[in-house]
Structure 1
């Protein structure tokens, strides 16, 4: 499961904190709205006062952020978390395999043949389609609420209204192509744009998305 971690720092969780949170939610609603979240206490060795902890969780839930767990919590934090229905999340940290700088793939991955995936049917809301070792091609529409992910490039021969995430293993040469752009989120190798940051002049047009000097670029085709 993929979740967002909110790493707390020492200091008061005051109105300025919640104002900054509201600004972030407004700027990236498709990324954070109703997103599963874990509270990380690694940088708060003294912990939060239980009442402050409860207030934080209540405020996050009021903003439709789905807090479900904690990590790096001490005994007192775990006790409060349990009262709030939060679970203790154990995060494993396996040693990474050596990676190819040009593609972001591990050496083990490069020994496997490419496994490009082609879909000839619509991708509906709530569906997630993944091409773990290659490109992903969809011949048809991708609905709002659907998600495409590929280690390589993504090609959509139809309207793209959901999320498209290319280069998921760090391949900065990956691209996204679509016939009609109305995406909720576009990402390549960790850099992303949400719907609100897409130029109106590119909507409903054939577009390619690519990286250029650590910047996510978009341009019309044809």
Structure 2
């Protein structure tokens, strides 16, 4: 049997991987499990082995029990791959556990210049402000004609996602731009996946498990807002919170 001499045993390609960010303000395992239980409402496949990044920036005065924390998230279907805002002392432990360190989010402190007695330099005339540059994104939208079933995940990279059929419970649709669903949305929808805060989610019927725009998400364990019946609904960011409104009444 002949082998292809031009084939490579390993190839590395650039790919976009979507991961949820778990922001923790209290590292008490009991409180975290209680919060997860309320969030998932007892659904065993709520997260369905999602990749996750833990952000511990808000944790103060506590030393997380990383083994217990990772085991807890695994039980709820979250596969933790990295930690954000960890202290330098914790990085060695985290690497031994096989986790990556999110160095992109770590702030860098610039050195403070020593004071001198030299005279201040003469003021410099400000440079002229350039005219603003308008950049138009011309990425084709991804169009899906079939229903999105439970367990399916669809990602429209670099543009909008248009779905002509229902997004069922347990399904997940993701787009770097906006998401347009001309049918019921009952699964999860994540728009602006790469940080576009102007992205929106539109659906003819809005009954989602979770919606997210630019990483800010909202679940609906306590029910949905009162909106006019038989009216398409849009989801958008209002400051740092998710807002749902009828399309016909949107300003």
Please tell me the TM-score bracket, short chain as reference.
Answer: 0.5 to 0.7
Q: Which residue of 2 aligns with 1:175?
A: 200
Q: How does 1:131-150 map to 2 (within 5 A)?
A: 131-150=156-175
Distance 1:8 1:189, change over 3 A: closer
**Residue of 1, 16, 21 corresponding to 2:32:** 21
Once the two structures are superposed, the pairs formed by residues 87-102 of structure 1 within 5 Å of their partners are: 87-89=98-100, 91=102, 93=104
| Whole-angstrom distance in 1 between the partners of 2:200 and 2:33 | 31
Q: What is the Cα deviation at residue 43 of structure 1?
A: 11
Q: Secondary structure at the match of 2:226?
A: helix
- Counterpart mapping for 1:191-210 below 5 A: 191-199=216-224, 201-202=226-227, 205=230, 206-210=232-236
Q: Give the number of aligned pairs.
A: 192
Q: Normalising by structure 2, what TM-score? A: 0.57
> Partner of 1:100 in structure 2?
none
- Please identify the structure whose Cα radius of gyration is greater: 2
Counterpart contact for 1:180–1:203, Cα < 8 Å: no
Q: Identify, as 1 or 2, the structure richer in helix.
A: 1
TM-score (ref. length: structure 1):
0.64
Distance 1:22 1:35 in 2: 17
Query: How large is the Cα RMSD of the aligned pairs?
Result: 4.0
1:157 aligns with 2:182: yes
Structure 1 match to 2:243: 217
Q: Deviations over 1:114-173 (max 9, x none)?
A: 222222221222222222232211111111222222222211011111111112233222
Deviations 1:31-64 (A, max 9, x none): 76754446689999xxx79xx6555544554x43
Q: Identify the residue that residue 11 of structure 2 maps to in structure 1.
A: none
Whether the aligned pair in 2 keeps the contact of 1:182 and 1:204 (CA below 8 Å) is no
Structure 1 stretches lacking a partner, 5+ long: 82-86, 95-106
What are the equivalent positions in structure 2 for 1:37-48 lying under 5 Å apart? 37=52
Asked whether the equivalents of residues 115 and 131 of structure 1 are also in contact (C-alpha less than 8 Å), the reply is no
Distance in 2, Cα, partners of 1:38 & 1:197? 26
> In 2, are the aligned partners of 1:158 and 1:179 still within 8 Å (CA)?
yes
**What stretches of structure 2 of length at least 5 have no aligned partner?**
1-16, 106-132
